[in-house]
Structure 1
């Protein structure tokens, strides 16, 4: 039964969140890249419905930090099972770690991301396309292959990509973006496309549905994320306040003239949960 058949709910500052059939209980999930800003806030979103989610396997090299755990109610922390995984390892070794830990999952969420070294270029620079491809595509392929070897077959696998899917790092895009907008694959290499293709190929071989969510610049609380756009703004504001000087726009004239899209990590987490639990959302991509 769809969430549209149930009333909306509120959780803190977040309003009009979906609810589901209360008989949906004791689910398990894999969250790959749980230390990052998106993965961590998806963990928080899932645990906001504790009757629904019994176990969350957080796959990452390091467990959640004490600061991160402090944002999760102590009564729910035992539902988080950390599995130390290095996706740069072989699929066979990763599968062995999953099997040894007894991982099983109704749903899987993939947020792992590797930022390659650069000469000062950001991840939005088209010059970084090949490096980003080489750093991230093998990790996702290892994850998918490890699921096969370990005989873990989720009902749904969700992959998070982002606005670069539409080429916003290359040039102007239309506003608002819609999911049916084309992927400009002919303009630049993009690891998002390879990951999405790999996900669809995996699901075509298994009884697994796929989803892709595409946030813009992500804002949220995560002490370990170097990609949180809020941090530099907060530092700049603190310095200006200390100096007794006003906040001045530090961008280009073009960025002043045009819109800048951002997505909140927590709401993207709630969206991710809704997407995988809704039957009508299977095999679709959603902007976040």
Structure 2
């Protein structure tokens, strides 16, 4: 009967992995690891406090009484500087694996599952080839900045090789994860739910799309944290999945032109009849816009000649445009006042507002390019998981409300 270690156990992906491990009868013991928070107690669960930024020696002490067949490495640290992100996140994984050697746990390890994401394809740098496949070129060397996903994957593959491949690994590439985590505000659903709930409660009850028109009409994939957890458990035990990376998305290709009206309906808000009066480069009404040109070439340039578009993207950079800068929107007097009214009425934590990642929302809604990936590789090995994206959003909003992170729709009315 398999046993597991989960790092980053209170984050969005880690929390979902833990929940699914505890529900699966074949998994007999789960050891969770995080710096501070502890998951909800469970007979199958043991918790260990660990600082993944510490040395391998220190981690060895933290791990001395821990043993498992499988590791789900869901922890990561966000850094604005890409070089620093690669250094910090690479060291965390490297030192953790070294500590497993020191404790002897590595002798029993069967597989390590590492959670990465679509930065694998450079979507944070601009337009990538569509759809994205696991065989796509890694963006390494000039002009591309360091990518901590690549750093971690090199470390993982090298470590397994040095151990004569006695254990294997799997890397997942989810996209714009929809899920819940307490005290973790790097969360699309939390920021989106705040924007929708406050907008719905304002006098005009309008819910204008704050991003770009191109994004609104474009196409994207999303990943339910619960579906991703199901995939991780499947990939851990699937023999044919070893030593490979996999895209993990819901299975539908969606668009905000379909999701946004459903979001408005959920919160009792109105869709403005002319939502992009300034086209795709202006502001919405009297709101301040945000317009950023990304600094690197488009990742698509790596494929330009191969797909017959050699000069099409030469010298061009992708653009992020929000017709409503949500960072500035969140500071408008009428918005702050309405938040404070709802906060007090619903008994919400002020940190939810103060730590909401409006910049993250700006990027995700402002991209002037689609992000679509192929699931063919996982499907070819037998993965059949699927989740309707709007259902994932709706269920996540409900759970965030239950956790007291977002206000309930009933609490938005005067």
> The TM-score by the shorter chain falls in which range?
0.7 to 0.9
Match of 2:252 in 1: none
* Secondary structure of residue in 1 paired with 2:47: strand
- Once the two structures are superposed, the pairs formed by residues 189-268 of structure 1 within 5 Å of their partners are 189-206=146-163, 207-243=166-202, 244-268=204-228
User: Between Structure 1 and Structure 2, whose CA radius of gyration is higher?
Assistant: 2
Match of 2:20 in 1: 45
Query: Unaligned regions of 5+ residues in structure 2, if any?
Result: 249-414
Match of 2:400 in 1: none
* Secondary structure of residue in 2 paired with 1:57: strand
Match of 2:243 in 1: 283
Contact preservation (8 Å) 2:53, 2:88: no
* Greater share of residues in strand: 1
TM-score in terms of structure 1 length = 0.80
Q: Which has the higher contact order (CA 8 A, sep 6+)?
A: 1
- Once the two structures are superposed, the pairs formed by residues 146-185 of structure 1 within 5 Å of their partners are 146-153=99-106, 154-185=109-140
CA drift at 1:256: 2.5
Match of 2:303 in 1: none
For 1:193 and 1:82, how far apart are their aligned partners in 2? 29
- Once the two structures are superposed, the pairs formed by residues 3-152 of structure 1 within 5 Å of their partners are 25=1, 27-49=2-24, 51-65=25-39, 69=40, 77-99=42-64, 102-116=65-79, 118=80, 128-152=81-105
CA drift at 1:141: 1.2
Match of 1:12 in 2: none
User: Which portions of structure 1, spanning 4 or more consecutive aligned residues, are displaced by more than 4 angstroms?
Assistant: none
Contact preservation (8 Å) 1:29, 1:57: yes
Contact preservation (8 Å) 1:29, 1:56: yes
* Secondary structure of residue in 1 paired with 2:43: helix
TM-score in terms of structure 2 length = 0.56
Residue-by-residue CA offset, 1:67-108 (whole Å, 9 max, x unaligned): xx2xxxx7xx12111111111221012112211xx2111100
CA drift at 1:228: 1.4
* Secondary structure of residue in 2 paired with 1:78: coil
For 2:229 and 2:44, how far apart are their aligned partners in 1? 17
* Secondary structure of residue in 1 paired with 2:66: coil
Query: Unaligned regions of 5+ residues in structure 1, if any?
Result: 1-24, 119-127
Contact preservation (8 Å) 1:37, 1:224: no
Task: Give the aligned CA root-mean-square deviation in angstroms.
Answer: 1.5
Match of 2:232 in 1: 272
